[in-house]
Amino acid sequence: MSGFSRFTPLVNALPSTIPFVGPEAIERQRDVRVKARIGANESGFGPAPSVLEAIGRTAGETWMYNDPENFELREALALHHGVSRDNIAIGGGIDGLLGEIVRLVVEPGTPVVTSLGGYPTFNYHVNGHGGRLVTVPYVDDREDLEGLLEAARREDAPLVYFANPDNPMGSWWDAESIVAFARALPDRSLLILDEAYCETAPAGSTPSMDALIGQPNVLRMRTFSKAYGLAGARVGYAIGTIGNAQAFDKIRNHFGMARISTAAALAALRDQEYLRDVVGRIAAARERVAAIATENGLRPLPSATNFVAIDCGRDGTHARAIVDGLMEHGVFIRMPGAAPLNRCIRVSVGPEAEMDLFAQALPKVLSAVR
């Protein structure tokens, strides 16, 4: 009897999938060392010194489980955002929370609306629970709010995913448009508003907490992985109505948070001065990436994130050749996965030394692929 007979028919039908192949795997496969890690939208600027000190102080407590109620972090986040701690759910990064939301909502065949070419990990979770993805193409390299709304209404979809600012394109909508979109959705539709990059977004693009906190069909997703520089700590949180936030307690891994990660997040939240400094450095590095692209005859797209999407002017095959060519120089970047977005490459910002390596390698690669 095959061992796979133990698995459900759904699992047996799924391919083994890693939504994002990491630079470590590429190093193993190609025997090339990554010198500039500017492809995973991490913060090469790192966390605040105060955060590293907090991690050091907490290291000796690793033998203890973390508080399964995440009380202290929820309380700190509540004070930071001006909401109740009962409006907040903590999880292992936004990716972990997305999996839990899908588990709460999706059954086999459930229609789920998202953008074609949007965040692959969300799609991975939907597929893993047997949901039916309904995808809406981008318009002018930006998520199509009208198209997403029409699809949600047409499908009577109980789940809609929308990222603002957007990954992989770096585009964004203004807060007023987002609030109007959320309120126009069918009551049955739960909106996942992924705000992973909100700290780097321009003023006026992120709705206030008051604008959506009472909206029963909205869950706002935040993370410490991007501007706070804690991608490896895996700390994310959801903000919503008390009913939505407390629903996670029905299915979450109550001991899933690491004690050191919680201490790091608390320290990062306290050090807003460092956050402001890093956001400024991210903005400056975005300008540097855009300038490098322009100098090489490519078109950088406007970005509200810690990366820049760069239009390479042709198609996905050409963009893939650039990605692979840069890796041969030790420069790790990524690209969108769906046409026509995949005519672009996506470059995460980082310290000057990594930007220099990108600037040195790009003209060599472009010359080779042309």
Cα separation, 139 vs 55, whole angstroms: 43
**Separate counts of helices (H) and strands (E) for the chain:** 14, 12
Identity of the amino acid at 235: V
Cβ partners under 8 Å of residue 43, min gap 6: 226, 227, 228, 229, 231, 278, 282, 306
Q: Residue 1's pLDDT is what?
A: 43
* Candidate CATH numbers 3.30.750.24, 3.90.1150.10, 3.40.50.300, 3.40.50.11030; the one for domain 3-46+273-369: 3.90.1150.10
Task: Name the segment(s) of the chain with CATH classification 3.90.1150.10.
Answer: 3-46+273-369
**Cβ-contact 274, 338 below 8 angstroms:** no
DSSP sequence for 159-196: EEEEESS-TTT-----HHHHHHHHHHS-TTPEEEEE-T
Task: Name the segment(s) of the chain with CATH classification 3.40.640.10.
Answer: 49-270
- One digit per residue, pLDDT tens: the chain, 370 residues? 455 678 999 999 999 988 888 999 999 999 999 999 999 999 999 999 999 999 999 999 999 999 999 999 999 999 999 999 999 999 999 999 999 999 999 999 999 999 999 999 999 999 999 999 999 999 999 999 999 999 999 999 999 999 999 999 999 999 999 999 999 999 999 999 999 999 999 999 999 999 999 999 999 999 999 999 999 999 999 999 999 999 999 999 999 999 999 999 999 999 999 999 999 999 999 999 999 999 999 999 999 999 999 999 999 999 999 999 999 999 999 999 999 999 999 999 999 999 999 999 999 999 999 8
SS3 content of the chain, % helix, strand, coil (to 5): 50, 15, 40
**Cβ-contact 232, 281 below 8 angstroms:** no
CATH number of the structural domain 49-270: 3.40.640.10
* Token pair belonging to 244: 């939505």
Coil, strand or helix at 100:
helix
**Cβ-contact 73, 265 below 8 angstroms:** yes
Which residue from 220, 223, 227 is spatially nearest to 261, judged by alpha carbons? 223
Distances (CA, A) of 34 to 184, 279, 293, 354: 46, 25, 21, 11
* Token pair belonging to 42: 């991490």
Phi and psi based region of residue 229 (left: phi greater than 0; alpha: psi -120 to 50; beta: remaining): left
**Cβ-contact 292, 322 below 8 angstroms:** no
Q: In what order do the strands lie in the sheet with 190-194?
A: 88-91, 236-239, 218-223, 190-194, 159-163, 111-115, 132-136
